[in-house]
Amino acid sequence: MPQIVRCSCGQQLQVEVPPQGVRVRCPSCSAELSLSGQPTAPVSQPVVPFSPASAPPSTGSNPFGTAAAPHRPTAPKNASPVKILAIVVASMAALLLLACGGVFALQSFNGGGQAVALEESDKPVTKAEVEKVSAEIESGLQSGAIAIVESHIDWERMIAESIANLDLNAGFKSQFGKGLLQGIQTRGWAGPVHQATSGNVKLLRVRDKERGPVALLRIEPTGAGVGYFEIAYFRDTDDKVKVADIYNFATGEWLTETLYRMSLPLVAEQNKSILEKLNGNESLLVKHLSDLERIRMLGQTNPDAALRSFRTLPPSVQQDKSFMILRITIATQAEDDSEYDSALKDFMRLFPNDPAAALFSIDYYALQGELDKSIAAIDKLNEMVGGDAALLVLRASVHSVSGDTQAAKEDLNKAIEMEPEHKGAQEMLRQL
């Protein structure tokens, strides 16, 4: 029977409780709650079932924490608007990892089932079909119709692709894939995106690429910032057009690549021999992923100590993209602003052609006072996405900081011409 419980952190949950009662874990703070079979009025809120296998480890094989909820770090005091942008960008980089990596350790590897084959129809997906499905995804992310969005994503196929190259026996791979699927379905992708953006999502266009027609979505997290997802599709054997993969500009990789990296420590925990089959860098990263969780947790309370701990890691681990993005996120909260500057600079040096570098360089150059380079970085990103009103608004803000009000107004007028309903452009133009 459904029952309401309020956690000490303030989170209110609705849980289906059997007569004998049940233990659950709060999705916000991970506290364990014991519920009896007494009914109360329902409230719509998901909850993660608790079992001994789902208890968070003290150090954690999962690099983002079993109970981590997606959030945006609070902007530092006296932060410039451009710095706030990069805080959001760094958070969006973690968002996809939190959504699809942060729940894997909740699942045991019980159960059988057949390994998922990468089956699809030979009939190509059309641009019109991608536009239709993408419009439904856009609408669902805007309104919070999470189930509709998730119904368009073929998680089984995505998982099968992400673990296809892991050298595992068929039985273990099948069990692992099933556990991975349960973990993803606990949190999903659409919920965290809607939560971070408050529904401020727009389908910009559908572009033809090597993978066929690909949809480009813009997200604008509440408060400041801009980010982008590209969505690739395929046609399944039932003739349905489904999401095959999602590319996050803030991480510079497809979700299947993220899933592969996030799977390595979990596979290694269950099958130690896998470490011998990984290349040197992958094996080293797996051994240090518990440090990623430790540093992430420390960064929430003592960012300066977390950054000092980060610098004790082997250089090759420090230079991994996941670790670099975590460093940037923590550095936004550091007392010393140079920590943030150096984190951005290192990322741009290590990943110069990465879309995430284009995002981070906007803020880096603005903070250095090199506004012309910041504008050039905006232009580069604008070219990557094929033109976007939100980036014209961002460029206008940099022009405004430089004192070039006329250039700012020109950008804003162009943004409104491109996207008349863009509230940010309208509001900024009124203020100039």
Instruction: Give SS3 for 214.
Output: strand
The pLDDT tens digits for 50-63 are 222 222 222 222 22
Label residue 98 by pLDDT band (50, 70, 90): very low
pLDDT at 102: 35
Which pLDDT score, from 0 to 100, does residue 62 have?
24
Banded model confidence at residue 7, pLDDT cuts 50, 70, 90? low
How many CB atoms sit inside 10 A of residue 393's CB?
A: 26
Under a CB-based contact definition with an 8 Å cutoff, are residues 331 and 229 in contact?
no
For the ranges 202-206, 224-228, 286-290, 373-377, the maximum mean pLDDT occurs at 202-206
**Is 39 exposed, middle or buried, given 0-12, 13-18 or 19+ CB atoms closer than 10 A?**
exposed
Find residue 253's DSSP bridge partners.
Answer: 248
Would you state the pLDDT for residue 32? 57
Q: What is the DSSP letter of 106?
A: G
Beta carbons within 8 Å of 403's beta carbon, 6+ residues apart: none
Distance separating alpha carbons of residues 60 and 333, to the nearest angstrom:
24
218: closest CA among 160, 126, 142, 271? 142
In the prediction, which pLDDT does 70 show?
Answer: 25
CA distances from 225 to 32, 42, 141, 250 (A): 35, 36, 17, 11
Looking at 96-110, 164-178, 240-254, which range is the least confident one? 96-110
Token pair for 224: 């400041």
| Average pLDDT for 261-284 | 63
Give CA–CA dist 314/285, Å, rounded: 10
Band of pLDDT at residue 395, cut at 50, 70 and 90:
very high
Mean pLDDT, rounded, of the chain: 74
In angstroms, the CA 409 to CA 414 distance is: 9
> Could you count the other beta carbons within 10 Å of the beta carbon of residue 277?
13
Report the pLDDT averaged over residues 292-320: 90
Residue 264, pLDDT above cutoff 90: no
CB 133 within 8 A of CB 152: yes
User: Residue 113: pLDDT above 50?
Assistant: no
Q: How far apart are CA 324 and CA 168, in angstroms?
A: 29
Per-range mean pLDDT, top range of 78-82, 157-161, 350-354, 389-393: 389-393
32 is written with which tokens?
A: 């364990």
If one compares 46 and 237, the residue with the highest pLDDT of the two is 237
CB 5 within 8 A of CB 15: yes
What letter would DSSP give residue 250?
T
DSSP state for residue 108 in the 8-state scheme? -
Please write the tens of the pLDDT for every residue from 138-188. 999 999 999 999 999 999 999 888 888 776 777 777 777 787 787 777 778
This prediction has a pTM of: 0.71
Inter-CA distances, 328 with 341, 396, 397, Å = 9, 25, 23
Q: Which residues lie across from 233 on neighbouring strands?
A: 243
Percent of residues, the chain, with pLDDT higher than 90: 35
Residue 2 predicted with pLDDT over 90: no
* CATH class, 61-277 region: alpha beta
DSSP H helices, 209-336, are: 255-270, 274-277, 280-301, 303-310, 315-318, 321-331
Domain ranges in the chain are 1-50, 61-277, 352-432
In this structure, which CATH number among 3.30.60.50, 1.25.40.10, 3.30.390.30, 3.30.110.30 belongs to the domain 352-432?
Answer: 1.25.40.10
Backbone angles phi, psi at 213, to 5 degrees: -65, 130
Q: In the predicted model, what is the mean pLDDT of residues 374-379?
A: 93
Residue 207 tokens, joined? 């572009």
Highest mean pLDDT among 87-91, 209-213, 283-287: 209-213
CA–CA gap between residue 136 and residue 290 (Å, rounded): 38
Helix H or strand E segment including 231: strand 227-235
Six token digits for residue 171: 């039985």
pLDDT tier, 282 (very low <50, low <70, confident <90, very high otherwise): low
Q: Write down the pLDDT at residue 85.
A: 44
